[in-house]
Amino acid sequence: MSLTIPESLLLLSRKDDTGQKQGSFVEFAIAGGALAEMMLRGCVVQDEDRPKHLNIVEGKPAGDAFLDACLEAMRAKGSGKPASRYVTSLANKSKLMREQARSLVRKGVLYEKDRSFLVFSWKNYPEANGAPEAELIAHLSKAIAGEVDLEPQDCVVIALGDKTGLLSKNVDKSLLKMHKKRIKEIAKGAIGPTKAAMQAIDAVIVSIAASTAVVAAAGSTNG
């Protein structure tokens, strides 16, 4: 089964049996993955004069419900903004994140499970079909080990999965330890990534750092 970059990251972020979220700053990874996917599809392009900014290509849909919803949200912010600003904005839209989970429900990969506690209710997304994730993890393991040629999509998933702890939740830890240097090189752009992949990876790292700083500042003030 063919998965988009954000679908791959979301699938890795869900525990198979309960559908609970695992990893850190997962929404930022999914948002960054969406940017990379849109750049690879030509819906969003890097600004020639301001490399860290992105321009939205008018009249160029992504052809995917979640990605097109992300494009609309980006248009509402305005074209030409820094990539990190788009990542932060998309990551904070819980409705968008649910739409991405539901795309995998429609594909029969996950199913929707209602949960509640006292007056609170929410939805988890356990696995309905484990084959796509098993195939994804096997492919990522080969890509990390250098057994297959790296595609831009692989680089984004590996780099963002490493940054947010999703690789360690899904891929054999001894394999990750053995190829730790290669994973770092992929994340830095020394191996494989296209400009689109690196732009998205950098934007997520900047956004996570900014978010962490805000949380730290708030904690310091409250203390």
> Quick check: 73 and 58 in contact, CB under 8 A?
no
Q: What does the block give as tokens for 64?
A: 């995917």
**What's the mean pLDDT in 118-127?**
84
Residues 6+ apart with CB under 8 A from 143: 150, 151, 154, 158
pLDDT value of position 192? 66
Binned at pLDDT 50, 70 and 90, residue 34 comes out as very high
Highest mean pLDDT among 48-57, 131-140, 159-168, 194-203: 131-140
**Percent above pLDDT 70 for the chain:** 91
**What's the mean pLDDT in 197-215?**
69
Binned at pLDDT 50, 70 and 90, residue 211 comes out as low
pLDDT in tens, 51-103: 888 999 988 899 999 999 999 999 999 999 998 899 999 998 888 888 999 99
Domains and CATH numbers, the chain: 5-214 (1.10.3630.10)
Residue 214 has pLDDT above 90, yes or no: no
Residues 6+ apart with CB under 8 A from 121: 114, 115
Highest mean pLDDT among 100-114, 133-147, 153-167: 133-147
Binned at pLDDT 50, 70 and 90, residue 30 comes out as very high
- Mind giving me the DSSP string for the chain? ----HHHHHHHHTB-TTT--B-SSSHHHHHHHHHHHHHHHTTSEEE-SS-TTBEEE-TT---SSHHHHHHHHHHHHH-TT-BHHHHHHHHHT-HHHHHHHHHHHHHTTSB--EEEEETTEEEEE--BS--HHHHHHHHHHHHHHHTSSPPPHHHHHHHHHHHHTTHHHHHS-HHHHHHTHHHHHHHHHTSSS--HHHHHHHHHHHHHHHHHHHHHHHHHHHH-
CB burial of residue 130 (10 Å; 0-12, 13-18, 19+): exposed
**What's the mean pLDDT in 113-131?**
85
pLDDT in tens, 97-117: 889 999 999 999 999 988 777
Binned at pLDDT 50, 70 and 90, residue 213 comes out as low
46 alpha-carbon distance from chain centroid: 19
> Quick check: 83 and 196 in contact, CB under 8 A?
no
Residue 132 has pLDDT above 70, yes or no: yes
Calculate Rg over the CA atoms of the chain: 17
pLDDT value of position 215? 42
